[in-house]
Chain A
């Protein structure tokens, strides 16, 4: 009779008890998977930002002259720079407004390397003054196609007094992060020459790529000190710091999820420990019989541990599988609440492995006392108890 047959027989000795225990473990590991997934969403939101990219804005929310560009480019540690003017706009439905980023086409797609378009599209964009690269989700939503000419409405008034801006769609781009808000990209010259703003050549943001992520903070400082006494002082932030600020705003959610995980494990430990304890107590005489047949103390201990491990692992595998399935849905809910968190809707392999690791730890902690008492069991004593 193999070891495994014994384990199976013992677990099915009271099928209802095994099933109840596994179901409660499934629920525990399901929660563990979900909550860890939510925690990870906070983490990846940070990890997906580009640490070598700096967002340079006006210190007082002011715009900055485009002429600052050449001074920024000359600073040591700066790899490349692009700039953004902003044109909020909507197509037909004022409730579905999006932001048009006005920049230099070549520079924009070079600094923002995670926004990918083909060389042909880029070339067409460079040579079409009224060209517009549209986010593919926006395009799909409104049924827009490359080659279409569209009129977009904006609160920004044109020189001719109208608020309707005409564009030619020259290409589509997909959002690097699913959670990014809808957007489009236009030529900065088209915006600057047509808006009814007295001061020309002003921009809202400079996007600066440093030669290396570790240089970014220093580059930011030198940019800010360069313009500290100018009419448009700047405020440089690493893209990751910008994201960190937004994530911190959601409050200490991680503390909350971690506390729940601890509470759930405590409860699971108790449930499993008790079940193993009870099943060992019930089988005292059977274990004694096994020992009479020549099973060593260690093998009896291993038998109990293996039994507990089977319980915990089957609970963990089922629970984590369910969590992975459910997280697809939960991820979408989080997306709808906060664009900064919505980075993933799949559960990472690391979380699943951690869960399985916890199942093993749970086994050994929960089964420690009963397995130890089964090991120390003396045949004569156990059989006497029966009589």
Chain B
């Protein structure tokens, strides 16, 4: 109990004197604050991207490709019918399988704002596509009518490219198609696409095969049954994938790069901040030399001196973490980023950055790490102060 009391007294004395060492102490605060702010921002981007890229994939859905990736894959009408009739596929109230055979093409479009040509992804979807993806909802206008030259545009694409508002026209090989609605899809990749009736799109582009077929499974475990049925059909050479796995695999490389970047930056900056903090803590110990020697001379033990140094460093580190987290929150929270899911695809995801508790905690952990690394060495120095030499 006596030792604890000593620690409390010495620490209180040290903290009370902090304002007098404000200049040097600020180094620890600023060092940890910048590290924490950068780490939190980078983690928010990484989490936001991974979340947006994978949430659009449901374990309840399976995507069937005829090739290695969606745009080079080809599935004939006959094969598509076999896939939709396979066991494990859910059927709607009318008895029709909840599935959509789709085609993915690009179309050149001149941006109204910049006057520049851009390639836009256009996806032909089946009649059951909205039942298949209930997260796809109209936010303005109406759905396209199959057989007419109409299309709907994703919210993120509409915001990015000028001239895709309701009523505007997009030039197709067979004439102008009209934008009749704008949809959202939970921030997922579809929001960066144009959607239209698959038969009309295939007619317009003179295509005879689909790119992929997406089906709703009766339940997530039905995938095994579905997969077995398709792979054992001798006439089919297709690759069924769980939709969640499909998106995870596609966004994996960028996801990993963002994670590596966030932690890489965090560790490098923390390393630099440790040395800045070492300077501060050594200087603090120097400034408190006489005080520490006096305390030791009147009977305070080395642990109380060490504890006062460590507590002071941790306190400064925590203040830094708080400022860093606050700065990151003020600057990036709510910011919206749009990026492609992987190189070589036209799929984009839009996600908002969110400074959540988990990443703030990671930031605080880094700050405490920086502070304690510096404190350990400085405390050793403080414990070594020779009473006689310091008092002379």
| Interchain CA distance A249-B343 in the complex, whole Å | 9
B343 touching A340, Cβ below 8 Å = yes
> Inside 8 A of A270's CB, which chain B residues have their CB?
26-27, 30
| Interchain CA distance A338-B254 in the complex, whole Å | 9
Cβ proximity bits A166-182 to B, threshold 8 Å, 1 near / 0 not = 00000000000000000
A60-B173, A264-B34, A275-B279 known; A249+B273 contact, CB < 8 A: no
B107 touching A27, Cβ below 8 Å = no
A17 touching B283, Cβ below 8 Å = yes
For residue A135, give the distance in angstroms from its CB to the closest CB of chain B: 18
A235 touching B37, Cβ below 8 Å = no
> Inside 8 A of A60's CB, which chain B residues have their CB?
105, 107-108, 172-173, 204-205
Name A235's contact: one of B31, B117, B205, B348 (CB within 8 Å): B117
| Interchain CA distance A264-B275 in the complex, whole Å | 14
Please report which residues of chain A, range 7-48, place their CB below 8 angstroms from some CB of chain B when the two chains form the complex. 16-17, 20-21, 23-24, 26-28, 30-31
For residue A324, give the distance in angstroms from its CB to the closest CB of chain B: 15
Among listed B91-99, B301-309, B333-341, interface-contacting one: B333-341
> Inside 8 A of A264's CB, which chain B residues have their CB?
34, 269, 272
| Interchain CA distance A337-B119 in the complex, whole Å | 22
A271 touching B72, Cβ below 8 Å = no
A31-B269, A60-B107, A274-B24 known; A336+B253 contact, CB < 8 A: yes
A24 touching B265, Cβ below 8 Å = no
Name B268's contact: one of A20, A30, A62, A155 (CB within 8 Å): A30
> Inside 8 A of B67's CB, which chain A residues have their CB?
155
> Inside 8 A of A95's CB, which chain B residues have their CB?
68
B276 touching A237, Cβ below 8 Å = no
| Interchain CA distance A264-B107 in the complex, whole Å | 43
Cβ proximity bits B105-122 to A, threshold 8 Å, 1 near / 0 not = 111100000001111000
B34 touching A61, Cβ below 8 Å = no
| Interchain CA distance A271-B277 in the complex, whole Å | 9
Q: Judge whether A289 is part of the interface by a CB distance below 8 angstroms.
A: no
B257 touching A267, Cβ below 8 Å = no
Cβ proximity bits B249-266 to A, threshold 8 Å, 1 near / 0 not = 000011001001000010
For residue A157, give the distance in angstroms from its CB to the closest CB of chain B: 11
B279 touching A20, Cβ below 8 Å = yes
A249-B340, A263-B37, A271-B276 known; A27+B173 contact, CB < 8 A: no
A27 touching B117, Cβ below 8 Å = no
Name A62's contact: one of B37, B173, B348 (CB within 8 Å): B173
Total interface residues in chain A, CB < 8 Å: 49
A249 touching B339, Cβ below 8 Å = yes
A60-B172, A95-B68, A270-B27 known; A333+B257 contact, CB < 8 A: yes
| Interchain CA distance A340-B257 in the complex, whole Å | 15
Q: Judge whether A250 is part of the interface by a CB distance below 8 angstroms.
A: yes
A17-B282, A59-B108 known; A267+B268 contact, CB < 8 A: no
| Interchain CA distance A20-B278 in the complex, whole Å | 7
> Inside 8 A of B272's CB, which chain A residues have their CB?
23-24, 26-28, 31, 264, 267
**Chain A, Cβ-Cβ closest to B31:** A267
Which of B23, B34, B172 has the most CB atoms of chain A within a 10 A radius of its CB?
Answer: B34
Q: Judge whether A143 is part of the interface by a CB distance below 8 angstroms.
A: no
| Interchain CA distance A340-B279 in the complex, whole Å | 43
Q: Judge whether A245 is part of the interface by a CB distance below 8 angstroms.
A: yes
Q: Judge whether A266 is part of the interface by a CB distance below 8 angstroms.
A: yes
A59-B108, A235-B108 known; A17+B279 contact, CB < 8 A: yes
> Inside 8 A of B38's CB, which chain A residues have their CB?
260, 263
A27-B271, A249-B348 known; A277+B23 contact, CB < 8 A: yes
Name A61's contact: one of B105, B171, B276 (CB within 8 Å): B105
| Interchain CA distance A17-B340 in the complex, whole Å | 46
B276 touching A24, Cβ below 8 Å = yes
Name B282's contact: one of A20, A24, A263, A340 (CB within 8 Å): A20
For residue B160, give the distance in angstroms from its CB to the closest CB of chain A: 10
Q: Judge whether A114 is part of the interface by a CB distance below 8 angstroms.
A: no
> Inside 8 A of A128's CB, which chain B residues have their CB?
none
Which of A23, A250, A263, A339 has the most CB atoms of chain B within a 10 A radius of its CB?
Answer: A263
**Chain B, Cβ-Cβ closest to A234:** B108
Please report which residues of chain A, range 94-153, place their CB below 8 angstroms from some CB of chain B when the two chains form the complex. 94-95, 97
| Interchain CA distance A277-B280 in the complex, whole Å | 13
| Interchain CA distance A235-B105 in the complex, whole Å | 15
For residue A67, give the distance in angstroms from its CB to the closest CB of chain B: 18
Q: Judge whether A278 is part of the interface by a CB distance below 8 angstroms.
A: yes
| Interchain CA distance A340-B344 in the complex, whole Å | 10
For residue A211, give the distance in angstroms from its CB to the closest CB of chain B: 22
A337 touching B343, Cβ below 8 Å = yes
| Interchain CA distance A274-B171 in the complex, whole Å | 63
For residue A148, give the distance in angstroms from its CB to the closest CB of chain B: 26
B283 touching A263, Cβ below 8 Å = no
Q: Judge whether A77 is part of the interface by a CB distance below 8 angstroms.
A: no
For residue B359, give the distance in angstroms from its CB to the closest CB of chain A: 16
Cβ proximity bits A255-270 to B, threshold 8 Å, 1 near / 0 not = 0100110011011001
**Chain B, Cβ-Cβ closest to A59:** B108
| Interchain CA distance A246-B105 in the complex, whole Å | 17
A20 touching B34, Cβ below 8 Å = no
| Interchain CA distance A94-B103 in the complex, whole Å | 23
Q: Judge whether A201 is part of the interface by a CB distance below 8 angstroms.
A: no
A266 touching B275, Cβ below 8 Å = no
> Inside 8 A of B45's CB, which chain A residues have their CB?
256
> Inside 8 A of A294's CB, which chain B residues have their CB?
none
For residue B252, give the distance in angstroms from its CB to the closest CB of chain A: 11
Identify the 6 closest CB pairs spanning chains A and B, nearest first.
A27-B272, A251-B339, A24-B275, A235-B108, A23-B275, A249-B340
What would be 16 A-B contacts, judged by CB atoms less than 8 Å apart? A17-B282, A21-B275, A21-B276, A26-B272, A27-B271, A27-B275, A60-B205, A61-B106, A88-B72, A97-B68, A251-B337, A264-B34, A264-B272, A266-B30, A271-B279, A278-B283
Using CB atoms and an 8 Å cutoff, list the residues of chain A in contact with chain B. 16-17, 20-21, 23-24, 26-28, 30-31, 59-62, 88, 94-95, 97, 155, 233, 235, 237, 241, 245-246, 249-252, 256, 259-260, 263-264, 266-267, 270-271, 274-275, 277-278, 333, 336-340
Using CB atoms and an 8 Å cutoff, list the residues of chain B in contact with chain A. 23-24, 26-27, 30-31, 34, 37-38, 41-42, 45, 67-68, 72, 74, 105-108, 116-119, 171-173, 204-206, 253-254, 257, 260, 265, 268-269, 271-273, 275-276, 278-279, 282-283, 337-340, 343-344, 348
Given contacts A249-B339, A270-B27, 15 further A-B contacts (CB under 8 A): A20-B275, A21-B279, A24-B273, A26-B272, A27-B272, A60-B172, A61-B205, A155-B72, A241-B116, A246-B343, A266-B30, A267-B273, A274-B27, A333-B257, A337-B257
